[in-house]
Amino acid sequence: MPNIGNLLKEEIVRLSRKESRSQVDSTKKSTTRHRREIATLKRQVAQLERQVALLSRKTLGAPAVVPANANGKSARFSAKGICVHRERLGLSADDFGKLLGVSAQSIYNWEQEKARPRAELRAKVAALRGIGKRDAKSRLEHLVAAAKRARPKS
């Protein structure tokens, strides 16, 4: 004959598991729903960030990168970095200078470490780090076209 104490104990365990499962199920469902909503929001934020980056690259005005960081220090400068980035964009020193608003000789001097750009130009260089070949070419074409329009006809 089974022990009544063991039967009672097993029944109590079974009922407590059933009760706790019913209470946890609603929490699991809400957690799943929240996670799904968070994932959707993350995707939306990523998409909006991509759109903002695209729009900021397409603007021809001021660079999207601020010239100074939170500490008030200006952007870092590396002569080798400028040379490598200019070559990666497939631009001559003259074209790269046009994008920055300086002469080709200034670009050469920076790359040879004979001179260093001023703080505002370092910010422009930092802004150009975020663009690709096509964007650089289109910006250059717009600058050349704007220069032709501004030149008086003789």
pLDDT in tens, 39-76: 999 999 999 998 988 887 777 544 444 444 444 455 67
User: Rounded to whole angstroms, how far apart are CA atoms 66 and 141?
Assistant: 24
Residue 32 inside a domain? The answer is: yes
User: Are 84 and 33 contained in the same domain?
Assistant: no
104 touches 92 (CB < 8 A):
yes
Query: Please, which pLDDT band fits residue 29 given cuts at 50, 70 and 90?
Result: very high
Residue 90 inside a domain? The answer is: yes
How many independent structural domains does the chain possess? 2
| Average pLDDT along the chain | 84
Residue 20 inside a domain? The answer is: yes
User: Are 53 and 94 contained in the same domain?
Assistant: no
| Residue 121 confidence (pLDDT) | 87
Residue 15 inside a domain? The answer is: yes
59 touches 104 (CB < 8 A):
no
Handedness of CA 131, 132, 133, 135 (dihedral sign): negative
| Residue 54 confidence (pLDDT) | 84
User: Are 47 and 85 contained in the same domain?
Assistant: no
Residue 66 inside a domain? The answer is: no
User: Are 52 and 86 contained in the same domain?
Assistant: no
Residue 96 inside a domain? The answer is: yes
Residue 70 inside a domain? The answer is: no
User: Rounded to whole angstroms, how far apart are CA atoms 131 and 137?
Assistant: 10
Q: Which residues contact 91 (CB under 8 A, 6 or more apart)?
A: 99, 136, 140
User: Rounded to whole angstroms, how far apart are CA atoms 96 and 131?
Assistant: 12
User: Are 46 and 89 contained in the same domain?
Assistant: no
Selected residue with higher pLDDT from 152 and 24: 24
Full residue range of the structural domain in which residue 118 is found: 79-150
CA distances to 8, 79, 112, 142, 152 from 92, rounded to whole Å, are 88, 15, 15, 17, 27
Query: Which residues on adjacent β-strands are paired with residue 74?
Result: 68
If DSSP codes are grouped into helix, strand and coil, which group holds residue 32?
helix
User: Are 1 and 54 contained in the same domain?
Assistant: yes
Residue 144: CATH number of its domain: 1.10.260.40
User: Are 54 and 83 contained in the same domain?
Assistant: no
Is pLDDT above 80 for 117?
A: yes
Residue 145 inside a domain? The answer is: yes
In a 13 Å sphere around the CA of 57, the CA atoms on its Cβ side amount to: 17
User: Are 30 and 83 contained in the same domain?
Assistant: no
Q: For the full predicted model, state whether its pTM sits above 0.75.
A: no
Q: Model confidence over 69-96: pLDDT tens digits?
A: 444 455 677 888 888 989 999 999 999 9
